[in-house]
């Protein structure tokens, strides 16, 4: 349930902080299936200014998506899952790490293929 609350806050915060939000936007559609006794839930909504949010989950995890137009006019599409291993967002707008340099890959392969031997204890 904590994951769900954090994701809902994230969804609202990611959309609500923009300066160009249509403050007169209205909800066009809303579906909310509150949590059942087993903890399964589902919700979705769409607003007149193009915000679309949906999520579904159970005690094992949550998956969903958030779509909106950024202040720069770019369509932001974020999908995510959240489970016991953490939050896993996917979106074209998210930064990606640079590729690992070839010399690092070679060093890692060398270490993998040449495991360290046991070091004998020094005599005292």
**Phi and psi, residue 112, nearest 5°:** -65, -40
- Express each pLDDT in 50-74 by its tens digit: 899 999 999 999 999 999 998 888 9
Number of domains in the chain: 1
Instruction: Give a yes or no: residue 25 inside a domain.
Output: yes
Instruction: Give a yes or no: residue 11 inside a domain.
Output: no
Instruction: Give a yes or no: residue 29 inside a domain.
Output: yes
Q: Which residue has the higher pLDDT, 114 or 2?
A: 114
118 pLDDT tier (thresholds 50, 70, 90): low
Instruction: Give a yes or no: residue 7 inside a domain.
Output: no
Instruction: Give a yes or no: residue 70 inside a domain.
Output: yes
DSSP string, the chain: -HHHHHHHHHHHHHHHT-TT--TT--EEEEEEE---TT--EEEEEEETTS-EEEEEEETTEEEEEEEEE-TTSPEEEEEEEEETTEEEEE-TTS--PPPPPHHHHHHHHHHHHSPPPPPPPPP-
Instruction: Give a yes or no: residue 82 inside a domain.
Output: yes
- Express each pLDDT in 11-51 by its tens digit: 555 554 545 567 888 999 999 998 899 999 999 999 998 89
Q: How far apart are CA 102 and CA 108, in angstroms?
A: 10
Instruction: Give a yes or no: residue 55 inside a domain.
Output: yes
Domain hosting 62: range is 21-113
Instruction: Give a yes or no: residue 8 inside a domain.
Output: no
């Amino acid at each position: 349930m904590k994951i769900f609350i954090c994701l809902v806050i994230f969804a609202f915060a990611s959309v609500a902080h923009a300066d160009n939000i249509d403050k007169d936007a209205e909800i066009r559609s809303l579906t909310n299936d509150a949590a059942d006794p087993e903890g399964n839930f589902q919700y979705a909504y769409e607003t007149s200014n193009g915000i679309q949010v949906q999520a579904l989950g159970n005690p094992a995890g949550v998956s969903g998506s958030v779509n909106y137009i950024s202040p720069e006019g770019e369509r932001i599409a974020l999908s995510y899952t959240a489970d016991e291993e953490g939050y896993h967002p996917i979106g074209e707008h998210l930064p990606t790490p640079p590729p690992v340099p070839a010399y690092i890959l070679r060093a890692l392969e060398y270490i993998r293929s040449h495991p360290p031997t046991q070091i004998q204890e020094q005599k005292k």
